Amino acid sequence: MCGIAGIFNFEPFSRVGDNFINRFSSSLHNRGPDDNGFFIDHNKGICFVHTRLSVIDLSSAGHQPMSSRDGKVKIVYNGEIYNYPELRRQLQSLGRDFLSNSDTEVIIQGYQEWGIEKLLHSLRGMFALAIFDSSSGRDKLILARDRFGIKPLYYYLNNNLILFSSTVDSIKNNGLVELEHERASRSTLLIFGHIPEPYTILKDVLALEAGSYLTISKEGPRLTKYYDLGKAVSESERLRDAAMVKKSLQKALEEAANIHLLSDVPLGIFLSGGIDSSALVAFSSLNRRGAISTVSLVFDEKEYSEGYYQKLVADKFNTIHNEYKITENGFYDEMDNIFKAMDQPSIDGINTFFVSLAAKNSGLKVVLSGAGADEVFCGYDYFGKVDTLKFLSRLSEVWHKPFSLFEGLENKFRKLSYLGERSGLSSYLSLRAILNFKEIIDILGVSRESLRNIIGRYSQDLPFGMSPNINWLSSMEINMYLKNQLLKDMDVMSMYHSIETRVPYLDHKLIEFVMSVDPGLKVDKLLPKPLLANLVKGLLPQELISRKKQGFVFPMNEWLKSQKGRDLFFDSARAVGIKNAFSLRLWNRFRKNNQLWAAIWAIIVIHRKAA
């Protein structure tokens, strides 16, 4: 795992030099503390910067930026390609030889042999990369990102100049261009809990969208979508044979777990005690020689601590188990570091911050995470309530105005007011939104029209009236919450501690298979995640499989209700400019358990990251 950055300008430049390179290298140091390098050609107006976290081929042969044999193609790359040995063999059969055992060289030679489109379709893994190609006499820069956005890539584009980097902060802090905050970022955070791509907290800095590549040449910029999950899965060929599905799923999961174990450095697994991470331990144990290391967090608050189930799994598979206790004081002591790690405003990522710190203290460099399983295997509670949501959504199509009355309620049903907005995101936001329009208007003093414009940004391809169903909700979770919040926060929080986090449940072949399974096999009112649960029967303790889903949740509800949390919230609310009456109303709802902690934390995040 690494940090990448660069600049491309069609005109020769003189402004780019040591200061530019050093600022990027310094900003991205945590992402790659083992090595750093740069390439610069003032005449061509190109500069690449790279910081390396060595995981595969620890030798200097894996140094980046890397150049092709003829010197006409340069690359900086962040990620892991799990099928690179297979691709290497394919390229060798075509007459290509290699100087290293790195996946970076496979990418650069694959690009020269196949071109960008075929190369990207052949890659199995997580990646963000930049390729500078001068081979045709027409210089061009290509930026590309993996199918589900596991690895980040951001860019600033203005006329002939493009800046790109693994983080928004490094672009902002470089000082080469003047950048302004995006005015809508505060409202966006209070709607979604994050800022969905392609937008960022900075007005002119965009995220390269997942499954896309951007070509910059004298013909102008061209954004190409090379992967779409909806198009990759056939709606007409649903798999309904439960026995066949179970057999094929076991093969797919074992394969996904196995390829994610590829590493030349110490590797472990985040073990929360739930079925997702426990299944990873089980399947990884089938393929890995020697004991597996596991890392877990526990709390003084017993209702959040899953130490019992963690120990069940660790003992069953004889793992080298590392348990760390996180306390309320420990959380507040790390507050500044949490915000330093947080590249963009988000209500999530605290759990990854601490478990990554624990992994680092355990001597690990790579960890596997169960992230993505709930979205892919339909693990959240509301997957079982999709019929109710479908009924309410259909009702709102013909009778939408009464739903606005839900805005003033003092209970959890107030988010149903989104069903009155007649947007392609209405149904989804009635489940996932942090606050409704009225609450945001009261808090920030913005207009209702500005909030409608925000959700309009993200619902252009989601026509109003789309009937919610299991696969629709799974796709929405993958493309909204998972991509824009979980993965984004997992990346920045783990890389802050120089830890590479891998997500086997997001192997694209596994996801495409699960999405092709009939929805009737994915949800069971008596058994959470039945596809996965039925698969691990006999592998995991039955009491773990059948227990109610808990999730990897911190005691934020309790910690924020303390005096320290109360002071932090009201200080933040005053700094943001929220009227005391509205902040007091929000706090009282929270105190009475009529408001989730996420809204309280969001105000603190706005103060620290979006002020």
Query: In whole angstroms, what is the distance from residue 390 CA to residue 392 CA?
Result: 6
Residue 34's domain is classified under what CATH number? 3.60.20.10
What pLDDT score does 403 carry? 79
Instruction: Write the pLDDT tens digit of every residue in 367-387.
Output: 999 999 999 999 998 898 888
What pLDDT score does 235 carry? 64
Query: In whole angstroms, what is the distance from residue 217 CA to residue 344 CA?
Result: 29
Q: Which two tokens stand for residue 379?
A: 């693990």
Q: Give percent above pLDDT 90 in the chain.
A: 71
Residues 212 and 110 grouped into a single domain: yes
What pLDDT score does 464 carry? 46
Query: In whole angstroms, what is the distance from residue 115 CA to residue 515 CA?
Result: 29
SS3 content of the chain, % helix, strand, coil (to 5): 50, 15, 35
The full 3-state SS of 331-374, as one line of letters, equals: HHHCHHHHHHHCCCCCCCCHHHHHHHHHHHHCCCCEEECCCCHH
Q: What are 408-414's contacts with CB under 8 Å, separation 24+?
A: 408/438, 410/589, 410/594, 411/594, 412/594, 414/439
Out of 227, 242, 275, a domain closes at 227
What pLDDT score does 53 carry? 85
Measuring CA to CA, which residue among 196, 200, 193 is closest to residue 440?
Answer: 193
Residue 70 covered by a domain: yes
* Contact status, residue 605 vs residue 189, Cβ threshold 8 Å: yes
Taking the mean position of all CA atoms in its chain, how far away is CA 346? 11
**One-letter amino acid identity for 270?**
F
Report whether pLDDT(438) > 60.
yes
Residues 254 and 203 grouped into a single domain: no
Other CB atoms within 10 A of residue 305 CB: 19
Residue 182 covered by a domain: yes
Residues 246 and 190 grouped into a single domain: no
Conformation bin of residue 529: beta by default, left when phi > 0, alpha when psi is -120 to 50: left
Residue 491 covered by a domain: yes
Residues 192 and 242 grouped into a single domain: no
Cis peptide before 198 (omega within 30 of 0): yes
Average the pLDDT over 263-286 and give the result: 93
Report the alpha-carbon angle 89-91-94, nearest 5: 115
Residues 216 and 260 grouped into a single domain: no
Query: In whole angstroms, what is the distance from residue 66 CA to residue 132 CA?
Result: 11
Average the pLDDT over 285-314 and give the result: 91
Residues 313 and 337 grouped into a single domain: yes
Residue 345's domain is classified under what CATH number? 3.40.50.620
Q: Which two tokens stand for residue 238?
A: 């649903």
Active site residue 47: no
Report whether pLDDT(345) > 90.
yes
> In total, how many domains does the chain have?
2
Instruction: Write the pLDDT tens digit of every residue in 457-470.
Output: 888 766 444 568 89
Report whether pLDDT(196) > 80.
yes
Q: Give the N- to C-terminal CA distance of the chain in Å, as an integer.
A: 31
Average the pLDDT over 224-235 and give the result: 88
Query: In whole angstroms, what is the distance from residue 418 CA to residue 405 CA?
Result: 10
Residue 273 covered by a domain: yes
**Could you give the dihedral angle defined by the CA atoms of residues 357, 374, 53 and 75, in that order, rounded to the nearest 10 degrees?**
-150
Identify the burial level of 71 via C-beta atoms within 10 angstroms of its C-beta, where 0-12 means exposed, 13-18 middle and 19 or more buried.
exposed
Out of 170, 197, 227, a domain closes at 227
Residue 33 covered by a domain: yes
Q: Which two tokens stand for residue 449?
A: 């029209």
Report whether pLDDT(89) > 50.
yes
Residues 152 and 241 grouped into a single domain: no
Residues 193 and 283 grouped into a single domain: no
Out of 554, 581, 603, a domain closes at 554
Distant-in-sequence, close-in-space partners of 447: CB < 8 Å, separation ≥ 6: 441
Show the domain range for 242: 231-378+472-554
Instruction: Write the pLDDT tens digit of every residue in 508-533.
Output: 999 999 999 999 999 998 888 999 99
Query: In whole angstroms, what is the distance from residue 332 CA to residue 156 CA?
Result: 34
> Between these two residues, 326 and 17, which has the higher pLDDT value?
326
Residue 395 covered by a domain: no
Residue 446 covered by a domain: no
What pLDDT score does 465 carry? 46
Q: Which two tokens stand for residue 375?
A: 């979205």
Residues 213 and 287 grouped into a single domain: no
Q: Give φ, ψ of 220 to 5 degrees.
A: 110, 175
Minimum mean pLDDT among 72-76, 164-168, 457-461, 597-601: which range? 457-461
Average the pLDDT over 99-109 and give the result: 92
Residues 205 and 321 grouped into a single domain: no
Model's pTM, two decimal places? 0.95
Residues 100 and 158 grouped into a single domain: yes
Residues 352 and 495 grouped into a single domain: yes
Measuring CA to CA, which residue among 407, 422, 481, 487 is closest to residue 455?
Answer: 422
Residue 267 covered by a domain: yes
Q: Which two tokens stand for residue 230?
A: 């909806």
What pLDDT score does 411 carry? 74
Confidence band of 130 (pLDDT split at 50, 70, 90): very high
What pLDDT score does 576 carry? 93
Place of tokens 């994050």: 194
Q: Which two tokens stand for residue 29?
A: 């140091």
Q: Give φ, ψ of 165 to 5 degrees.
A: -165, 165
* Contact status, residue 71 vs residue 110, Cβ threshold 8 Å: no
Minimum mean pLDDT among 4-18, 77-91, 139-153: which range? 4-18
Choose, from 1, 2, 75, 462, the residue flagged as catalytic.
2
